[in-house]
Structure 1
Amino acid sequence: MLTDYHNHLERGTLTLDYLKQFTDNAKSKTIEHFGISEHAYHFYQTKNILSNPWVNERRYYDMEDYVKLFQQAWDAQIDVKMSIEMDYTPGKHQEMAEFIKNYDFDYVIGSIHWIDDFGIDLGEYKHEWETRNLKETYTSYFDQVVTLAQSNLFDIIGHIDLVKIFNYIPTDEEFLFEQYERATTALANSKTCVEISTAGLRKQVGQLYPDPRLLQLCYNKGIPIVLSSDAHVPEDVGRDFDKAVDLARSVGYTSIMTFQKGERKEVPLG
């Protein structure tokens, strides 16, 4: 069994024809559980959760249209899960919870893209990495991983070590392990799964998310996993999944988690 739960329509249109390009590719790669998880910041309904100049320029969808798209897909017998990828926003737990409960999502992904006003994975902010203290940035990032897990709002944490995207990685192994250790302890005490994401292979870092050492800690602490490509175009659906499966098996995983209307079910890793 394979999942691809983290995918985006934002470079195309919220139409059935475009959605079907994704689902057709998933089917061709024998991905049995496929979902779309558009960025929540694109929707007007999240203005009270995350707002900054970069995000506000890219807020142009209405959740009503998003839900209608999935209804059209289900009416057409297209098997696709409805999800959302939320930017975890400290101090906005109540607002995030209210947004999530308003929609019948199959699952919800929580991800960390911002440290205060610093967009850690955005090209527009890349220059800031040269001026920031690397350990402080990593500490702040993993602080959010911990509180994301403690919030218990999310079914999946997206690309858990996205902070490495531009290959700025501390060389202090003890420090790095401390971040991994506290993050996985918090996740183990939550309902949150970790995704193995192939997106990092298409980024400057050239690595899967998470780091094998981080994933080993996940396995050791009994944290379930899903597989995701974080495709922003149809042709990236399921991309490099052989590498994701190999990584999962290398640390001991033999199963993955699936979701249906918030209900989770463990299935063998295919």
Structure 2
Amino acid sequence: MLTDYHNHLENGTLTLDYLKKFIHKATEKGISHFGISEHAYHFYQTANILSNDWVEKRRYYDMADYVSLFEQAWNEHVDVKMSIEMDYTPGKHQEMETFINQYNFDYVIGSIHWVDDFGIDLSEYKSEWERRDVYDVYRAYFDQVVTLAQSNLFDILGHFDLVKIFNYVPHQKDFLLEQYDRATDALKESKTCVEISTAGLRKPTQEIYPHEELLAMCYKKGIPIVLSSDAHFPEHVGFAYDQAVELARKVGYTKLMTFNKGERREVSLG
């Protein structure tokens, strides 16, 4: 079996017709477990969790409309999972938990896009990489991975090493492996799975998330995985899945995790 749990409607409309375009592509690609996980910052209901100038310009959805879309889909027997991708925000654990518990999500993705006021993967902030110490950014990023895992609020960690997106990577291998090690130690003690995301192949890094060495650590520590494309357009659903499956098998994985209303079940990969 294949999963694609990380997908966005934000470049289209919150309508059943647009959602069905994603479903059609998933069916074409043989993906039997498919979900939509819109960015939580788009919704008015998350204003007390993450707020900055960049986000506020993009807060235009109401959760009632989002839930209604899935109810329409389910009423027509469209098999789609309802999820959210939430920016993990230090110091806002209670607010994140309260929001998550208000909705009957099949699973919840936690991702890190911000290190303090620095949007690490945003083109608008790319010049910041030249002004900041790469080691400090990586240390702070993986600090958040650790506390994200320790919060146990999330079912899936999105694009584990997103911090490499613009190819700013510490030269000291020992430093990088130290960050990988402490992050995977925290994840193995949590309920949080890791996604193998092909989105990195569409970004400047030209690499799958996570890096092979990081994924190998996940496997050795028994951390479950899912496959995701992080599609923002229907045509990207299941993008480069042959490479994702190859990488998963190369490090030893033979199973994927699946989700249904918070319940999880392992299935055979592929």
- Report the equivalent of 2:33: 33
- Report the equivalent of 1:70: 70
- Report the equivalent of 2:147: 147
Q: Please tell me whether residue 178 in structure 1 is matched to residue 178 in structure 2.
A: yes
Q: Which amino acid aligns with 2:250?
A: S
Q: Which amino acid aligns with 1:28?
A: E
Shift of 1:39: 0.0
Query: Hey, what's the Cα distance between the residues in 2 that align with 1:172 and 1:252?
Result: 26
TM-score using structure 2 length: 1.00
Query: Hey, what's the Cα distance between the residues in 1 that align with 2:213 and 2:171?
Result: 14
Write out per-residue CA displacement over residues 30-50 of structure 1, whole angstroms, 9 at most, x where no aligned residue. 100000000000000000000
**Where do residues 200-239 of structure 1 align in structure 2 (5 Å cutoff)?**
200-239=200-239
Count of residue pairs brought into register by the alignment:
270
Q: Please tell me whether residue 61 in structure 1 is matched to residue 51 in structure 2.
A: no
- Report the equivalent of 1:254: 254
- Report the equivalent of 2:4: 4
- Report the equivalent of 2:95: 95
Query: Hey, what's the Cα distance between the residues in 1 that align with 2:259 and 2:126?
Result: 35
Unpaired runs of 5+ residues, structure 2, are: none
Shift of 1:171: 1.1
- Report the equivalent of 2:166: 166
- Report the equivalent of 1:240: 240
Query: Hey, what's the Cα distance between the residues in 1 that align with 2:101 and 2:130?
Result: 40
Write out per-residue CA displacement over residues 90-130 of structure 1, whole angstroms, 9 at most, x where no aligned residue. 00000000000000000000000000110000000000000
Query: Hey, what's the Cα distance between the residues in 2 that align with 1:103 and 1:79?
Result: 18
Query: Hey, what's the Cα distance between the residues in 2 that align with 1:36 and 1:107?
Result: 10
Query: Hey, what's the Cα distance between the residues in 1 that align with 2:171 and 2:91?
Result: 31
Q: Which amino acid aligns with 2:97?
A: A
Unpaired runs of 5+ residues, structure 1, are: none
RMSD: 0.3
Q: Which amino acid aligns with 1:182?
A: R
TM-score using structure 1 length: 1.00
Q: Which amino acid aligns with 1:221?
A: K
SS in 1 for 2:66: helix
Query: Hey, what's the Cα distance between the residues in 2 that align with 1:260 and 1:159?
Result: 21
SS in 1 for 2:127: helix
Q: Which runs of 4+ in 1 moved over 6 A?
A: none
Query: Hey, what's the Cα distance between the residues in 2 that align with 1:32 and 1:243?
Result: 18
Q: Which amino acid aligns with 1:192?
A: T
Query: Hey, what's the Cα distance between the residues in 2 that align with 1:163 and 1:142?
Result: 9
Query: Hey, what's the Cα distance between the residues in 2 that align with 1:27 and 1:234?
Result: 11
- Report the equivalent of 1:20: 20
Query: Hey, what's the Cα distance between the residues in 2 that align with 1:218 and 1:112?
Result: 18
